[in-house]
Structure formats: C-alpha cells, structure tokens
C-alpha cells in the first residue's frame, strides 16, 4: 500500500469574499471561467478548461462520475452532448438529478453544481451536431456508446464503411444523440485558502427564483 499522507499543498492564490460576488451564480461562474482562460493557465494549454465531471445515479442504483466537455452555458444552465442510449444518457433519463463539478487546479478552485437535466430542443442539438467535424459526426454514428463490442478493429471497420457511405452525402444527427441542459438549483464555489480554511460560498435557488447565498465551513 502506498502512503499518501505527506502529499500536502498550501493554497494561497486567491480568496472568495461575500463583498465581491454577484447575486447570480452564473455570473460568478462566467468570471471564474474566463479568468482561467485569460491567465493562460495549464487548463488552457493541453488540458481543457471546459472539462467537467458529470455524476449520475445509474440504473443499478450506484452513483457514477465521468468527465465530459461543457459546450455552452447561459442563464438557463449548462449544456453538454452525449448518446441518449449510453449508460450516462439512460441514467439521466431515468433520474434527472445530476451533479456537475469543475476543478481548476492552477487557480485552486472548484465549482460544484446540483441540477435537473433535460434534453435540449432538437434544434439546439441539430445546430451543434452540424458544427462538428465530419469525423466526430461519424463517430457518433459508429459508437453504440457503453455497449460491449468485440474489438477495436470492429469500430475501425465500421467507421471505414460509414466514411464510404457518406462520402457524398450530408451527415445528419441521429435521434439517439443530442444535448442535455442542466438547470442549476445549487452552485457551490470553492476557493483554496491557507491552513485548509478554504472559502466555500453556496448559492441555493429559492421559490421566487432568487438565489440564497451562504458561507459554508471548510
């Protein structure tokens, strides 16, 4: 067994105080997201600043988390795309309560979002699918995501056949593939601070659609 008890770091890069935050968590998310991009931190050079963990409750009753890419956010919520027939897609359609989380280590920041997921409109899914490179479009058609397959060669052969079939034809979005919009009901912002006394600010959506803001003990 490897002992990791001496893996320690002092968090000292920033702070998160009530007198400097907006009333709406989307505005604070926007500020943090663009600070990471504009500072040219490691997340923007090699890694992806829009990488997030999506946690769901599976059909087997177990939670499962995986990393996907955030593709859009606005005042309504956060959008990502997937195969609706995948393990992730079926879990969300069965139980739309999900959690999204971002970890930007260069700025010692986390954002944790509880929300309710719903399918995006067909127009939104179509528009995004149309913007993808042809290889990514065909990849969506090739992959019966989460299903057992015999080999890598099986995928490669299937892709080659589709490349031939679609060589002179438009590649349309399949019905089983599209977006999910996660509407947030709670958003927590975590800023690393010295002595493990981190800043934790939580926004909770109220019945009047305003946000209640609290500081949480670290």
Residues designated as active site: 196
**Phi and psi angles of residue 34, each rounded to the nearest 5 degrees, phi first:** -75, -25
Indicate left, alpha or beta for 40 from its phi (over 0: left) and psi (-120 to 50: alpha).
Answer: left
For 10, 90, 161, 208, the CA distances from 138, given in Å and listed in that order, are: 46, 21, 10, 44
Query: Which residues are bridge partners to 63 per DSSP?
Result: 57
Which of 182, 171, 105, 187 has its CA nearest to residue 138?
Answer: 171
Largest distance between two CA atoms of the chain: 61
């Amino acid at each position: 067994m490897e002992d990791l008890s001496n893996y320690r770091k002092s968090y000292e890069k920033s702070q998160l105080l009530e007198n400097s935050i907006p009333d709406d968590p989307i505005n604070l998310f926007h500020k943090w997201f663009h600070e990471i991009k504009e500072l040219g931190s490691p997340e923007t050079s090699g890694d992806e600043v829009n990488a997030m963990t999506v946690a769901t409750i599976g059909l087997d009753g177990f939670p499962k988390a995986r990393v996907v890419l955030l593709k859009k956010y606005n005042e309504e919520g956060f959008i990502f795309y997937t195969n609706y027939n995948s393990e992730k897609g079926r879990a969300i359609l069965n139980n739309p309560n999900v959690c999204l989380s971002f970890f930007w280590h260069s700025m010692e920041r986390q954002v944790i979002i509880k929300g309710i997921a719903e399918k995006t409109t067909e127009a939104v899914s179509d528009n995004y699918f149309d913007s993808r490179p042809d290889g990514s479009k065909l990849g969506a058609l090739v992959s019966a995501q989460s299903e057992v397959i015999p080999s890598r060669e099986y995928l490669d052969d299937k892709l080659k056949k589709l490349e031939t079939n679609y060589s002179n034809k438009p590649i349309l979005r399949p019905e089983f593939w599209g977006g999910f919009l996660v509407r947030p009901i709670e958003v927590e912002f975590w800023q690393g601070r010295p002595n493990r006394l981190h800043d934790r600010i939580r926004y909770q959506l109220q019945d009047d659609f305003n946000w209640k803001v609290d500081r949480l003990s670290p």
